[in-house]
Structure 1
């Protein structure tokens, strides 16, 4: 009888999709100390499988520039994840896509603080353009539109 239960438990483990056992993805968020929407975005990331360490900084422009984020794409926070940088309120699906595909970029960014984006709340009122950027001085390119 015990063997039947063990076989049933093994069958459940085998049938369970791998994402259910996915490891937590570690992230570090450098944020403007007075910005509460950054914390909302961090909670959104954590709800979606990330473990976020918050690091408030009064020199966020310098931190973001040091991470390779072009000035025109810098926002109220920069997140480092698995060797990449995510700036702004990028939807988690695009972050996971980047982490899966491993493109030859420094990171991705959603400039501004668009309504309806994760962490901002409200209704989405316009399409978002998420840019890919590199450290080589080339202009950012469109990574995705949402």
Structure 2
């Protein structure tokens, strides 16, 4: 195999990986519970839709019962709660973390980005921003751990 064939094969393989992530996302529906007046929640949903997910939005004037129903710990809460499969997705979780979650299917309750960090999906374009995505365990006595680091070096 010459250099040109190798490079063409590498490019095709990379394209296939991206296409498989989009195909996996296309088969998944995210139910987004959000405040009807929150713009950043809407922008997060749009970002996930661009990534290939189907979005079902439910406007909720009071999100506390939703967070309680899915077991989102108070210290992990953000402005919206989404559900994909058996997982909750709390806050501005990036698409790359969702891809990892759906690929690995760990035994956790969900993922969370507490607060509303700058540069996270829906929170403005800040290419230098970095933040952490936490795995939240089903057992409430277990402390959440970093599952994914988003930012310039992720």
Same fold at TM > 0.5 = yes
- Distance, in Å, in 2 between the alignment partners of 1:108 and 1:59 is 21
Give deviations 1:55-113, integer Å, cap 9, x for gaps: 11122022012111111111111110011111111110110110110000010011111
Instruction: Report what 2:146 is aligned to.
Output: 142
1:68/1:124 Cα in 2 relative to 1: closer, same or farther (>3 Å)?
farther
- Do the aligned partners of residues 56 and 126 (structure 1) sit closer, same or farther apart at CA in structure 2, a change above 3 Å counting? same
Given the alignment of the two structures, is residue 31 of structure 1 paired with residue 34 of structure 2, yes or no?
yes
Backbone CA RMSD of aligned residues: 2.0
User: How many residues in Structure 1 have an aligned counterpart in Structure 2?
Assistant: 132
- C-alpha distance in structure 1 between counterparts of 2:49 and 2:125, whole Å: 20
| Structure 2 unpaired stretches of 5+ | 1-12
Post-superposition offset of 1:127? 2.6
SS in 2 for 1:41: helix
Whole-Å Cα distance in 2 between the matches of residues 77 and 145 of structure 1?
20
**Which one has the largest radius of gyration?**
1
**Where do 5+ consecutive residues of structure 1 fail to align?**
1-14
TM-score (norm 2): 0.78
CA–CA separation in structure 1 for the residues paired with 2:76 and 2:54 = 24
Whole-Å Cα distance in 2 between the matches of residues 103 and 24 of structure 1?
19
